[in-house]
């Protein structure tokens, strides 16, 4: 639902309460954090939700265009396996417009959701008279006036609700307003955010938590702050001088219950750096980035040390996503001299140049 003005805050709070907003796990959903999630559970991962125009309450042409654009915005910017939205004349989910809208008294749009089955949506009609004034949809003007609502932005807020997002909990000074398009108070032209046509980072954070990442290479929302765990192994761990050993690192999101569907995720295509040191020393020397490994979340680099060497791998928090740094414990690769004193048959069989 989308409400009008600040003076309606008391009412808005009451309406929010009626939505039975369920906050996410402790430490995840807080002011400036991911949006809360509504009651009723999620739809299916990547579930396609097809909407039709409600019979007898079809939107005006310009509003239809805006709603279809919002459906495309929701689909293309969900950054997760959240549901997709598409128009189809035989769709199960009606979207209406006009005087029949059952929205709250100050609501300019509203929705219902019955996951994982259906949803409904309504937008009030151009010219609807509220206590605070008259509703203007920007799309209905050739020359767009200030004070109008962008129907695409408002419909995107509603599609976000259908997916399960509750209104973002802004900081007291609203400095984080643009972190979410799913807002209790949508803004009118020309106020910042009045025409947001993408989900904000704290919208997608909750979609990621509830629907999971699209794939192991996808970037985590910067509205999240997830710990990672990086591990390393060497194969083999004993070689003769000059023989090869392959270091394999694996990067995962920590398997924390608070991380919901993201806990334990393998994380691919990031920069993982290999370092080495002599045993008994404390200074690490960087070797370089590790290449993509044989399976998701793995990184490899082959080395041919001439003396026993310890290795570790590092992952540095990227500036553009919400997963944290980690480094592995060290792993030792023992190197036998070429005097034929190697203790294992396999090592003895290796060429000693
Ligand atoms: Zn809303």
Model confidence pLDDT, tens digit, residues 152-207 = 999 999 999 999 999 999 999 999 999 999 999 999 999 999 999 999 999 999 99
C-alpha of residue 222 to centroid of ligand 1, in Å? 22
What is the pLDDT at residue 32? 78
C-alpha of residue 107 to centroid of ligand 1, in Å? 9
Q: Is the dihedral of CA 71, 1, 162, 223 positive or negative?
A: positive
Instruction: Give residue for tokens 């002599």.
Output: 278
**Please, which residues have CB less than 5 A from ligand 1, an ion?**
1-2, 157
C-alpha of residue 300 to centroid of ligand 1, in Å? 46
C-alpha of residue 219 to centroid of ligand 1, in Å? 26
C-alpha of residue 319 to centroid of ligand 1, in Å? 30
C-alpha of residue 29 to centroid of ligand 1, in Å? 17
C-alpha of residue 149 to centroid of ligand 1, in Å? 13
Calpha distance 22→26 (Å, rounded)? 11
Calpha distance 166→39 (Å, rounded)? 9
What is the pLDDT at residue 14? 32
Name the nearest CA neighbour of 266 among 301, 234, 231. 231
Calpha distance 55→53 (Å, rounded)? 6
Other CB atoms within 10 A of residue 104 CB: 17
Provide the 3-class DSSP secondary structure of residue 154: helix
* pLDDT tens per residue, range 37-72: 999 999 999 999 999 999 999 999 999 999 999 999
C-alpha of residue 80 to centroid of ligand 1, in Å? 20
C-alpha of residue 181 to centroid of ligand 1, in Å? 8
Of 18-27, 214-223, 313-322, 329-338, the least confident: 18-27
C-alpha of residue 110 to centroid of ligand 1, in Å? 7
What is the pLDDT at residue 347? 47
Structure tokens at 97: 């417009």
- Provide φ and ψ at 203, rounded to 5°: -70, -50
Residue 168 CA neighbour count, 13 Å, CB half: 31
Instruction: Give residue for tokens 């509003």.
Output: 63
């Amino acid at each position: 639902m989308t409400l009008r003005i600040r003076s309606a805050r008391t009412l808005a709070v009451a309406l929010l309460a009626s939505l039975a907003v369920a906050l996410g796990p402790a430490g995840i959903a807080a002011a400036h954090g991911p949006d809360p999630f509504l009651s009723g559970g999620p739809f299916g991962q990547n579930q396609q939700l097809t909407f039709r125009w409600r019979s007898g309450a079809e939107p005006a042409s310009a509003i239809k265009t805006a709603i279809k654009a919002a459906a495309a915005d929701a689909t293309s910017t969900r950054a997760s396996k959240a549901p997709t939205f598409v128009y189809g004349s035989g769709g199960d989910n009606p979207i209406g417009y006009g005087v029949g809208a059952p929205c709250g008294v100050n609501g300019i749009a509203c929705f219902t959701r019955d996951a994982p089955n259906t949803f409904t949506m309504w937008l009030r009609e151009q010219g609807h008279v509220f206590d605070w004034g008259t509703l203007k949809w920007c799309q209905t003007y050739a020359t767009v006036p200030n004070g109008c609502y962008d129907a695409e932005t408002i419909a995107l807020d509603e599609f976000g609700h259908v997916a399960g997002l509750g209104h973002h909990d802004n900081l007291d000074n609203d400095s984080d307003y643009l972190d979410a398009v799913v807002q209790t108070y949508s803004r009118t032209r020309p106020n910042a955010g009045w025409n947001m046509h993408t989900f904000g980072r704290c919208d997608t954070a909750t979609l990621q938590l509830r629907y999971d990442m699209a794939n192991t290479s996808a970037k985590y929302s910067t509205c999240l702050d997830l710990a990672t765990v990086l591990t390393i192994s060497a194969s083999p761990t004993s070689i003769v001088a000059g023989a090869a050993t392959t270091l394999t690192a694996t990067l995962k999101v920590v398997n924390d219950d608070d991380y919901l569907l993201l806990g334990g995720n393998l994380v691919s295509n990031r920069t993982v750096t290999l370092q080495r040191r002599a045993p008994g020393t404390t200074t690490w020397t960087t070797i370089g980035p590790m290449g993509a490994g044989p399976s998701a979340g793995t990184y490899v680099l082959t080395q041919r040390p001439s003396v026993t060497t310890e290795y570790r791998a590092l992952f540095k928090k990227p500036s553009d996503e919400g997963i944290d740094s980690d480094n592995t414990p060290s792993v030792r690769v023992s190197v036998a001299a070429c005097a034929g004193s190697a203790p294992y048959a396999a090592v003895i069989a290796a060429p000693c140049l």
